[in-house]
Structure 1
Amino acid sequence: MLSLLFALIDRFLLPARAASRAGWLREVIYAHRGLHGPGVPENSLAAADAAIARGFGIECDVQRSRDGQAIVFHDWTLDRLTGHAGSVGEMTAAELGGIGLLDEQGQAVAGEAIPGLRQLLDRIDGRVPLLIEVKSRAGLRIAPLCLAVRRLLEGYRGPVAVMSFDPRVPAWFRRYSPHVVHGLVVTEAGRRTLLARLKRHLALWRARPQFLAYDIADIANPVVRLARRRGVPVLTWTVRTPHDAERAAAHADAPIAEGPVLLAAPTP
C-alpha cells in the first residue's frame, strides 16, 4: 500500500514536461571526474582535455573556497589528491590554484593544479557536455555555492547541467536559475529500510529534478523505470566494469564511467 502511495506521488512530482529540456544528457558517455589515469589527475584540466579528445562528456565535482569561489575538487580535504593538509573550504581560490594535483598513483603531475570552475568552463568551451556535481553536507549552506556556480554559467553556451545528492541544490536552481538543467544524484547504499525509502522519496519530491543520476548498484528499481517512462533522463554512476556497462545499457540512458571500461568505449 505504501509503495503504491510513493509511486502515485512520484508520478505527480516528476516533471516530465520540464525534463524534455534535459534530453541532450542521453547523447554521450560521461567521463567520471574527467578521463583520468596514470599521469592525469582526476578533476584536472588534463583530464578534461583527454575526455574532449575522445568525445566524452565530463562529470566534475565543485565545492566552495573560503572566498566564495567554485573550485573543481572532489574530497573535502586535500591530502589524497594533493599530499597537502587542510580542507578546501579553509583556503582561498588563489591558494588552492597554487597547489599541484597528484594522479591515482600518488605522483605529482607537472603543470596540473587545482582548477576553478571558470578555468574548466573556459577549457571545455562548449565542445562536450558538462555535468557539475555541487558538493554538500550536513550543516553547510548551499546558496553561496549555487550562486557562485550560477554566475559562472551566465553566458556559457555549451551543454551543461548541475546535480547534487542534496535535494536543496536542484530545488535552488529550479527556483532561482530555471534555465540551468538540474538533477538529483541518488544512492541506496544498502539502506533499504522503510525510513530510508521515505527519505529518498522526500528528496525526490523536494528536488523535482529534470534528470536523475542513480547509483549503478541500485539502477534496477521502480523509481528509475517511472522516470524513464515519463521522459526524465536517467544517468548512472560509477560504471567501472563490463557488468556495470551491461546494467547501464539495460536500465539507464547514459553512463558516467571511469577506468578500462571507459577507455574501451567507442569514440562518438
Structure 2
Amino acid sequence: MMLPDSLLSSPIAHRGLHNLDQGIPENSRAAIRAAIEAGYPIEIDLQMSRDKQAIVFHDYDMRRLTGQSGPVQMRSAQDLAGIPILGGDETVPTLPEVLDLVAGKVPLLIELKDQDGGLGTAVGALETATAQALEGYSGDVALMSFNPHMVAELARLAPDRPRGLTTCGFLREDWLAIKQERLDELRSLPDIDRVGACFISHNVDDLGSRHVAKRHEAGFPILCWTVRSAQQEAEARKVADNVTFEGYTA
C-alpha cells in the first residue's frame, strides 16, 4: 500500500481552497468546489456527529466556525445540515456529501480528528463511519490522524486505503491533556511501522526534526502542514515531498 502519486504531484488545498474574503469558509462545499475547479488535491477534516456520522468539520467545538457553542458530537447530522458556517452561505456537510461532490475529480487527504480526548484508545465510531462512507469510492484518497490508535483501527476497517500519521513536535503548550512522557514518545514518531503508515503529514515548523530527517533520508513520503507563503513552501520542500497550503496560490 502506497500513497497515491496524485497526492505527491500537486500542492494540497488545506481544508479546501477556502477564502473568507470571497465568502468561502474552510471545509465547506464552496471550498471543495473551488479546489476542484483549480485542480488541487483537497485536505479535509472529520469530526463525528451525535448519530455517529462522519462530519466534515475541523474543530471539536462549533463556536469558531458557526458561532454556536458545544461539541459537534452533541448534534445530529440533520441538525448540522441546518447550521450555517460563518463567512458563507452553506451549512456543515457530511463526508458522503463531500465524496459525492468530489467524485474522484481530485485526490482527497482525509484527517480524522481525535475523539478520545488524549490520543488514547477510545476509538472506533468515526473510523467505522469513514470506512462505510468510502465503500465503493474509486477516487484517490488517503486517511490520517494524530491518534495512532485511530490509524490502527483504520488499518483494520479499511486495509486497502492508504493511511498515515499526522505529526508535529508535540509541544507541551499545544497538548495540555497529554502526559509529558507520552509527548516525548510521540515526538520520535514511534508508531509509523506499527500502524502500517505509508506517509506522515508533519508540522511545517518542525521539519527540522531529526526524526523526520531520518525518515526522509530513507525515502519515506513526507507531507507537511500548513504552508502559508511561496517562500515557506520553497523552504519546506527541502524536506517535504508535498505541502498542504492555504492563503496563497501554490
Aligned to 1:70: 54
Deviation at 1:177, TM superposition (A): 1.7
From 172, 189, 206, the equivalent of 1:218 is: 206
1:206 positional shift: 3.8
From the two aligned structures, give the one with the greater helix fraction.
1
Match of 1:178 in 2: 159
Instruction: For structure 2, list consecutive stretches of 5 or more residues without a partner in the other structure.
Output: 173-179
Q: Does 1:258 align with 2:246?
A: yes
Contact 2:42 2:108 in 1 (8 A): yes
Runs of 4+, deviation exceeding 6 Å:
none
CA distance in structure 2 between the partners assigned to 1:76 and 1:233 by the alignment: 28
Q: Residue by residue, what CA displacement relative to the aligned partner does 1:135-182 show, whole Å, maximum 9, x if unpaired?
A: 113267321100100001110010001100001122112233210110
Structure 1 residues 76, 21: closer, same or farther in 2, change over 3 A? closer
C-alpha distance in structure 1 between counterparts of 2:62 and 2:149, whole Å: 26
**Preserved contact between residue 214 and residue 234 of structure 1 (Cα < 8 Å):** yes
Distance 1:140 1:95, change over 3 A: farther
Deviations 1:200-227 (A, max 9, x none): 3334354331110000011123332332
Q: Percent identity?
A: 40
2:17 to 29, 35, 44: 35
The change in CA–CA distance for 1:68 and 1:82 in structure 2 (over 3 A counts) is same
User: Which residues of 2 match residues 1-268 of structure 1 at below 5 A?
Assistant: 18=1, 20-37=2-19, 38=21, 39-103=23-87, 109-110=88-89, 112-136=90-114, 137-138=117-118, 141-190=122-171, 196-200=183-187, 201-260=189-248, 263=249, 265=250
In the TM superposition, what whole-angstrom CA distance separates every residue of 1:87-144 from its partner, at most 9, and x where no partner exists? 20001000001101112xxxxx22x100000110000010111011001132673211
Q: Retained in 2: the 8 A contact 1:25–1:233?
A: no
Q: Is the partner of 1:247 in helix, strand or coil?
A: helix
By how many angstroms is 1:195 displaced? 6.3
Query: Alpha carbons of 1:93 and 1:140: their partners in 2 closer, same or farther (altered >3 Å)?
Result: farther
Deviates more, 1:132-141 or 1:82-91: 132-141
Q: Distance in 2 between matches of 1:171 and 1:80?
A: 30
Partner of 1:213: helix, strand, or coil?
strand
Change (3 A) 1:132 1:226: same
Residue pair 1:22, 1:211 contacting (<8 A) in 2 also: no
- The higher-RCO structure (CA 8 Å, 6+ apart) is 1
Contact 1:32 1:258 in 2 (8 A): yes
Structure 1 residue 21, shift from structure 2 partner: 4.7
Give the SS at the match of 1:250: coil
Q: Please identify the structure whose Cα radius of gyration is greater.
A: 1
Contact 1:31 1:258 in 2 (8 A): yes
RMSD value over aligned CA atoms? 1.9
Q: TM-score, normalised by structure 2?
A: 0.88
Q: What is the alpha-carbon distance in structure 1 between the residues aligned to residue 27 and residue 131 of structure 2? A: 19
The alpha-carbon deviation at position 86 of structure 1 amounts to: 2.0
Aligned length: 237
- Unpaired segments of 5 or more residues in structure 1? 1-17, 104-108
